[in-house]
Structure 1
Amino acid sequence: MSLLRMSRARLAALATAASSGAMAAPAQAVEMELHSTTAAQAYEVASPWGGALLDRRRLLQTLSLGLYHLQGERAADGADYSLAMMLRLDADFGVNAHLVGGDAGAETDYARSSGSRFIPGYQVAPLDLMYGYIEGRNLAGGWLGFRLGRQYITDALGWWSFDGALVRLTTPYFVQAEVYGGLEQRGGLPLSTSRYEQQGVWRGSHAQFGTGQGRPSAADYPSYQFTAPAPAFGAALETSGVSFLHGRLTYRRVYNTATSFTQQFPDASGNYPTIDGARISQERIGYEAGVTLPSRGGINGGFSYDLYNQLVGMAQGNVEAYLGEHVTVGANVDYFVPTFDADSIWNWFTHSPVTTAVGRVAVEVTSTVHVAASGGVRLWATDGDPDAFRMGQCAELGLSVADCDGAFGNPDVLAGYTQDEANRGTSLTPDALANVSARYRLRSAEVELRGMMQAGERGRRVGADVSGEKRLDGGRYALGTRLSLHDWEDPLRPERGATSFGYVLGAGYRPIQVADMRLEWEHDMNRLVGHRFRVLGVLTLRVTP
């Protein structure tokens, strides 16, 4: 994919690939695959305090290994074993770069700057094992399979990672069953990341904490919770062997075991109350199903139910139809309610759903011209109207709004304004959504247009990108550009509204078949940030012996 066709947000997050290598052994009894990627990027972001610019010098390194057919020569109906693993280093050498003198290193060292800039759990170069497991397939005549180690599960409950074992039973009756158990991957533990645990809790390693001079105390950061192994187990039933039909019913339960602070301020004795012992972190059930007919289209949907919060956290449905060979139409509805770890304070607050409904059409006008469009609405739900609620309370008390704050009245008079579900009316705020795109593609060139709009009473975003690329000498050279114009407005913060213009100029060169080089210059400007520049260099290496 050309970098020039990416949105500004994706381009800002994209790493400069310094090197990428892959090796695959020739076909033999045991096959090996080795792949590594090195990516680097440099940029500046505004400080949260609005003063200094923060330097970011990111380095991402991944290394993956795959070994297949470990048992040797494989029989068509025999057992097959494999091993797979991937390590990731996600470093930012810009950490602490803006701090000098006595503040140098203060973001990661509590002893510097009296701890005023210390961020618990912040690491310059975190290393994690993305996955690492041994797998067996087609055991016991095809009935059994297993996976042992760190692994992913993806279904109606979302992306999830754990260390443990999974056993799969596949029957000849178009259904298979899974059971699994182990420890959820959690931030703060060795070779782990917090990406896959439930939201709402800031937890991590307390290895730097203690009672000695220059070391932080856990009581100094009661929001930063302890981390510990989190036992988990689950099960699933899934269709198997039916190409046009798929369904999966899944259940998962995870426990918290670490000590947790239960409030942010000390009690009368000066201590911070805590809770410990095994307790629920999450318990959810989900289902997804779909039917696909190659020449007609398809329909699918799913949901997840949070048993702890007793609510539907996600529901979605999608339908797509092929009108001949060149036209595809479809529609989808997504319903989402944020849910949190059972230890999170956010469970105490109301959290309302967001519902999005979109219709779309894609047309292949000719073999070189493709157009697509979508439009719909997004509904933001809240518990009642705060202004109407406040004015109603004041009216019941016989006071003006100016004199009402802090006043108390007869509870019987204000019965309609107590914290009762019956008093929680729901208000909906809609946003209109629209997206359009068009692409003109030739053998050695292409031009693409993308536009978007999201607008409602609480704000507006609208913009468009035009990009193009021309390849020369059979793809050995490439020239490209991208122009973007976006405008946004926030009625709550009118001073933050702006119109932004940006452009990218790029050139690419492939000196040999296994190497690609690319250089891009980006310039963005608006009245809020002035001018921002970026130089992006990409080097990609591919080796396949």
Structure 2
Amino acid sequence: MSTTASASAFQLEARTEAQVYQIRAWRDSSAGEPVLLPRRRIVQYLGVNGYELITGQDVGFESSLRVFADFGLPRGEAARIDGVRSEDADLLHAFVRYGGNGFEGRLGRQVYVDVGDILAFDGLRVRYMSPLGIGAEVYGGLWVKGAGFLSSSVYQPDGTRESDSRRLEEGVAGADPSLSALEPMYGGKLLLEGPGALSGLSAALGYRRALVEGQTDLERATAEVRYGQGLGVSALAGVDFDLLRMGLAQARAQVRWDGERLAVSGEALRVSPVFSADSIWYWFAFAPRDEARVRVDYFPRGPLRYYVQGVASLYHTALNSESDVAKRAADPGGAPSYTAGGSAGAALQRGRFRSALDVSFRQGFGGSQLWADLTAGYGFGDGRLSLDGRLSVASIDDGFNPLLAGNFLGAQVWASHMLTRAARVSLVLEQNVNPYTRWDSKVFFLFDLKASL
């Protein structure tokens, strides 16, 4: 007699990139004689995932490792620059997961995303949702920082160096040994998912705190609400409140209506950087931005799609009154603290050919910008070979940096060939011409491998 058979599933993903490009140096250089720093990087990404490791149970693991070496940056030069490494390995995430009957748990290095931030930590996250639609979530561990084993500072709060070891060795005054200290963090959320007539409604109320050497480094409270059931009206709102400064840090509210051929949305934002309390920028350069957006998408029958969007922003410039930037921002005849503009675009999909055009413009605080981007691509034969191109043109007049003025041109050609259903090679050529770096060429060779076992 036949019986139910179950088996574990494994997924292996690998990608190798050869990156050849240059970076414009900011120190000891001029617009007429720029200093270019060469980068010659080999980067290897490896991801190993496993599912249903125990028959009939939702038990698995997920991992992603990045290994790189920069042959254009010797170790001696890298040691003189904070946060720069000539070669290293970064464990982006690696955790064991279990789920079932409304319960989900993760143990290990994981990435956590919510309305307030994106962070990575080594620890435990537990979540439970009851059949009534009421649940809770708690998490805690060590915030991933650059000083950890196989760690990455990608999701560390901006505005701080990941280590002051070089300055401590040199006896530099003001060097901070706590930058490389362990940073425990913990948080939790109350969850709601509307049942029955309230299906499509979800809400969460959260709290998070991080400490360095016993002192609070970050403390936030969040609230978010979402509603949507496909076509028709949908909405979302989120607030991130800074409990250290006792003020609003970030907020977002959006109302959207989706029809068969038309979609309209309105959005309001408060955006500000997420800094560590140890950062000088947290106390002296807290400059949030308020923004409003209105967008209309039109997708009639046929190969074309269209959109148009209007954007207005207000910059809060509570700067040092003695600085040149503050004087210009406060000058009635100078740059205003707001910007206004918009964008429009169209997309075409006809058989194997695809193309899109986007044009955007902004003017006000910080100068003016006009951008135009044209992309096109074509798939040959059975789809194994594809060719894509991009052309970007920008006219920029920066109100605070006279070097960033003029016309900027960029072009890119991307050719890809599928060797098998799981392997692909790509060659990317990029050329940028502008009055700032004058001539900037980049070449990328990529090999992608994906296997399901």
TM-score range, shorter chain: 0.7 to 0.9
- Aligned residue for 2:281, secondary structure, equals helix
Percent of aligned positions that are identical: 26
Alpha-carbon distance, 1:364 to partner: 0.8
1:355 aligns with 2:290: yes
Q: CA deviation at 1:457?
A: 4.5
Higher RCO structure (Cα 8 Å, ≥6 apart): 2
1:224 deviates by 7.3
| Ranges in structure 2 where 5+ consecutive residues have no aligned partner | 328-334
Shift of 1:485: 1.6
| CA distance in 1: counterparts of 2:320 and 2:164, whole angstroms | 41
Q: Measure how far apart 1:384 and its partner are.
A: 8.2
Partner of 2:438: 530
Identify the match of residue 93 of structure 2 among 127, 131, 149: 131
| CA deviation vs aligned residue, 1:333-364 (integer Å, no higher than 9, x gap) | 11023342222223331523201101001111
2:64 to 86, 98, 108: 86
The counterpart of 2:76, out of the listed 106, 114, 129, is: 106
Normalising by structure 2, what TM-score?
A: 0.86
What is the rounded CA distance, in whole Å, between the counterparts of 1:471 and 1:157 in structure 2?
40
Residues 43-64 of structure 1 show CA distances to partners (whole Å, capped at 9, x for unaligned) of 1122223243211112222222
Q: Secondary structure at the match of 2:317?
A: strand
What does residue 254 of structure 1 align with?
210
Greater Cα radius of gyration, structure 1 or 2: 1
Paired with 1:83 and 1:321, the residues of 2 have a C-alpha distance of 38
Aligned to 1:236: 189
Aligned-residue offset at 1:469:
2.1
- TM-score relative to the length of structure 1: 0.73
Aligned AA (2:226): G
Corresponding residue pairs, total? 432
- Contact 2:257–2:265 at 8 Å: present in 1 too? yes
Instruction: Report the counterpart of residue 178 of structure 1 in structure 2.
Output: 137
CA distance in structure 2 between the partners assigned to 1:520 and 1:133 by the alignment: 34
Cα-to-partner distance string for 1:426-445 (whole Å, 9 max, x where unaligned): x9711113111111111111
Q: Aligned pair 1:314/2:284, yes or no?
A: no
Name which of 154, 174, 179 aligns with 2:113: 154
The letter for the 1-side match of 2:145 is R
Query: What amino acid is the match of 1:126?
Result: D
CA contact (8 A) 1:445 1:468 kept: yes
| Preserved CA contact (<8 Å) 1:381 1:428 | no
In structure 1, how many angstroms separate the alpha carbons of the residues matched to 2:410 and 2:146?
37
Report matched runs for 1:45-60 at 5 Å. Answer: 45-48=23-26, 49-50=28-29, 51-60=34-43
Deviation at 1:460, TM superposition (A): 1.0
SS in 1 for 2:382: helix
Q: Equivalents in 2 of 1:108, 1:174: separation in Å?
A: 52
- Which of 273, 276, 279 aligns to 2:215? It is 279
SS at match of 1:494: coil
| CA RMSD between the two structures | 2.8
Query: In the alignment, what sits opposite 2:52?
Result: 69
Counterpart in the other structure of 2:127: 168
1:348 match: secondary structure = helix
Cα deviation, 1:443-462, whole Å, max 9, x if unaligned, reads: 11122211111211531111
| Residue 329 (structure 1) aligned with residue 259 (structure 2) | no
Retained in 2: the 8 A contact 1:202–1:223?
no
**Cα distance, 1:428–1:498 mapped onto 2, change above 3 Å:** closer
Which residue is equivalent to 2:331? none
Alpha carbons of 1:358 and 1:535: their partners in 2 closer, same or farther (altered >3 Å)?
same
Quick check: 1:305 aligned with 2:241? yes
Q: Secondary structure at the match of 1:126?
A: strand
Q: Aligned pair in 2 of structure 1 residues 219, 462: CA closer, same or farther (>3 Å)? A: same
- Superposition deviation, residue 481 in structure 1: 3.3
When residues 537 and 186 of structure 1 are mapped into structure 2, their CA distance, relative to the original with a 3 A threshold, is closer
Deviates more, 1:463-472 or 1:431-440: 463-472
CA–CA separation in structure 2 for the residues paired with 1:532 and 1:515: 30
